[in-house]
């Protein structure tokens, strides 16, 4: 393996063709130790390929969408010591009546989560035209 660095090589030089999964070459393989570990080589090749594609193509828009989705998930699921989720909540109160019975901080977290998810939907709508039809069907459902 002459001329390789310590990391994996992906065979992509400036001005060359787009990266393909078949271009990913790992410096070592799990299958060399035991043939039953060959499946791990497939997963590692996929991981290296997707990491290289993310580094090459993702910009601020994709990271914003991912960050908003992560924030919406955390804000909607984590009660920050309030006890609303830890106590199990009240399953008899749903919808707007459930929101009226939340503590102030829980209501603020829920609303911030909804705002973050609305930001994700707006980002997806504006950046990915192919997803617009899916978002319409999601809204109908």
CB 138 within 8 A of CB 120: no
CA-nearest of 78, 70, 77 to 120 is 70
Interval 60-116: pLDDT, tens: 989 999 999 999 999 888 776 666 666 776 677 777 777 777 778 878 888 999 999
Indicate the domain borders of the chain. 1-57, 60-140
Interval 21-64: pLDDT, tens: 888 888 989 999 999 999 999 999 999 999 999 999 989 989 99
What is the per-residue pLDDT for 3?
A: 47
CA dist 78 and 98 (Å) reads 17
What is the model's pTM?
0.66
């Amino acid at each position: 393996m002459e001329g390789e660095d310590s990391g994996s090589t992906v065979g992509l030089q400036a001005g060359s063709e787009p990266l393909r999964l078949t271009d990913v070459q790992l410096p070592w393989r799990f299958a060399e130790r035991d043939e039953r570990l060959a499946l791990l080589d497939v997963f590692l090749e996929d991981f290296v390929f997707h990491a290289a594609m993310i580094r090459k193509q993702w910009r601020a828009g994709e990271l914003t969408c991912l960050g908003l989705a992560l924030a919406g998930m955390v804000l909607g699921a984590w009660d920050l010591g309030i006890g609303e989720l830890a106590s199990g909540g009240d399953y008899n109160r749903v919808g707007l009546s459930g929101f009226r019975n939340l503590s102030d901080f829980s209501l603020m977290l829920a609303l911030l989560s909804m705002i973050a998810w609305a930001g994700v939907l707006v980002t997806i709508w504006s950046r990915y035209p192919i997803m617009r039809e899916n978002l319409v069907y999601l809204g109908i459902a």
